């Protein structure tokens, strides 16, 4: 999406070590991780296969190619990756067209970042067609731009999406705060050298150096993010 926001130098909070905030989408800003699993269950059921509940933790937070590929291999379904990707995206779009619940604290945090003109990017493993539909509900004005999983050669857990986002914002990855809900996303952000706030949605995430784990976005605000990036650990 095209940005009309001011340059980075006019947008950073005065005296702040924080240069940008990079946010995941599914399970972080919108309560949709369960939607993806429900759609996967329904699509594979229509193909005559039952998904095991334990697989949910394998596919959560991953790019479509990895998640769908795993489920095809695990079930032995007679379907191609391209075919299942289309079916999953269609099913997900149908769900979010009916309802798109935000995670607690998401709307307030986005408004706060916008009010203080903090450079902000949406960085998701979801495809562009999904991101654009979600952005309509989140408010595209809250983001300088967005990065979709089908727009990078290597998506999460590789660092490429976060390195691209930091580069496009002219920010040092070490001075970017990333907010993620899955181990896959956390791995991508940490590999990029960013400071990470983990808000686990499906599976637990343990604290680690450079990583802070919180229960909800309601615990996250601009002073919190400034402190995270300014902290030496």
Model pLDDT, residue 213? 97
Q: Give the separation between CA 110 and CA 227, rounded to whole angstroms.
A: 18
What residues of the chain score a pLDDT lower than 50? 1-15
Q: What is the pLDDT of residues 98-116, one digit of tens each?
A: 889 999 999 999 999 999 9
Model pLDDT, residue 11? 38
Model pLDDT, residue 20? 98
| pTM (2 d.p.) | 0.81
Q: What is the pLDDT of residues 2-36, one digit of tens each?
A: 333 333 333 344 445 899 999 999 999 999 878 88
- Structure token pair of residue 49: 């296969």
Tell whether the torsion through CA atoms of 127, 65, 208 and 29 is positive or negative: positive
Model pLDDT, residue 149? 93
Model pLDDT, residue 16? 59
Q: Give the separation between CA 72 and CA 68, rounded to whole angstroms.
A: 6
Q: Give the separation between CA 38 and CA 12, rounded to whole angstroms.
A: 40
Q: Give the separation between CA 92 and CA 100, rounded to whole angstroms.
A: 11
């Amino acid at each position: 999406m095209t940005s009309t926001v001011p340059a980075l130098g006019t947008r950073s909070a005065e005296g702040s070590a924080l240069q940008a905030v990079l946010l995941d989408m599914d399970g972080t800003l919108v309560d949709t991780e369960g939607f993806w699993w429900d759609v996967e269950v329904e699509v594979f059921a229509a193909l005559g296969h039952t998904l095991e509940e334990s697989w949910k933790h394998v596919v959560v937070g991953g790019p479509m190619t990895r998640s769908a590929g795993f489920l095809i291999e695990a079930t032995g379904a007679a379907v191609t990756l391209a075919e299942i990707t289309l079916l999953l995206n269609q099913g997900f779009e149908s769900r979010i067209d009916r309802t798109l619940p935000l995670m607690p604290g998401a709307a307030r945090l986005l408004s706060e970042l916008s009010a203080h003109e903090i450079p902000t990017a949406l960085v998701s493993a979801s495809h562009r067609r999904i991101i654009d539909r979600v952005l309509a509900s989140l408010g595209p004005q809250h983001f300088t731009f967005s990065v979709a999983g089908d727009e990078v050669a290597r998506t999460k857990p590789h660092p490429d999406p976060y390195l691209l986002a930091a580069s496009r914002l002219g920010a040092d990855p070490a001075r970017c705060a990333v907010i993620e809900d899955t181990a896959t996303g956390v791995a991508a952000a940490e590999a990029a050298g960013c400071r990470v706030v983990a808000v686990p949605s499906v599976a637990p995430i343990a604290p680690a150096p450079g990583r802070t784990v919180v229960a909800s976005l309601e615990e996250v605000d601009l002073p919190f993010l400034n402190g995270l990036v300014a902290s030496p650990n």
